[in-house]
Amino acid sequence: MKKAFVWAAAVALTLAACGGDDSPDAGSKTQATNTAEVTTAAPDDGVSTGDSSNAGTSVDAAPPGQALVAVDGQDFAFELPGAVACNVQEGEFGFSFRIGDNEITLGGGGFRSDSGWGGDIVLEIPEPEGEVGVTQYFVDLAQHGDQLEINGNGLAYSGPWMMRPPNDGSNPPPVEAGEGTLSVTCP
């Protein structure tokens, strides 16, 4: 019960921390914000985003106190902590990171039980490329937790991601975003 509460609190704090009114410039491919860099890569640029058939293969580790995400042709480097302290243990984790003043946020929380992993990982991008609303990329650990790797204070994921398009009031359903990777290393 305590693990479920910690996970729920981590996700709630991460999502509540989203805000800020600065949005990425639609015309730029790279945006530097408070020492974090976001790069939009072309889909066929050769960037490895993982392969679900290789569950358990290693993802390049993020430096201590940072997180790296590659999903949907975009690469994100998070160097600033969010509202939830980074904590990775063998059977549970919680973390949050941000770029700038919450222009882009990353958060996750999960726990392993006898039936597998529970929790999720969420990347939020407010008003991407001038669109109205927030785009969310997420991993459902109940379905894909077997593709998590925990090694000491580091966590890695390589596998399928989903995407919730910006909600302009029409409440669009999630769609598949393809394969992606995540690496988090706690300080």
pLDDT in tens, 151-161: 999 999 999 99
How does pLDDT run across 101-110, given as a tens digit for each residue? Answer: 989 999 999 9
Residue 55 phi/psi, 5-degree rounding, is: -50, 135
Instruction: Return the percentage of the chain with pLDDT > 90, whole number.
Output: 58
Residue ranges making up the domain that contains 74 = 2-185
- Residue 58 — very low, low, confident or very high, per pLDDT cuts 50/70/90? low
Q: What total number of domains does the chain contain? A: 1
Banded model confidence at residue 71, pLDDT cuts 50, 70, 90: very high
What residue type is assigned to position 16 of the chain?
A
Q: How many CA atoms lie within 13 A of 69 on its CB side?
A: 27
The arithmetic mean of pLDDT across residues 120-134, rounded, is 88
Segment 40-44 long-range contacts (CB within 8 Å, at least 24 positions apart): 40/73, 40/74, 40/75, 41/70, 41/73, 41/74, 41/75, 42/73, 43/73
- Residue 58 CB partners (closer than 8 Å, separation 6+): 149, 156
Of residues 15, 181, 5, the one with CA closest to residue 108: 15
How many other C-beta atoms are found inside a 10 Å radius of the C-beta of residue 150? Answer: 17
Give the residue-averaged pLDDT of 2-16: 41
Return the percentage of the chain with pLDDT > 70, whole number. Answer: 69
Asked if the model's pLDDT at residue 18 lies above 80, the reply is no
Check whether 1 has a pLDDT greater than 60. Answer: no
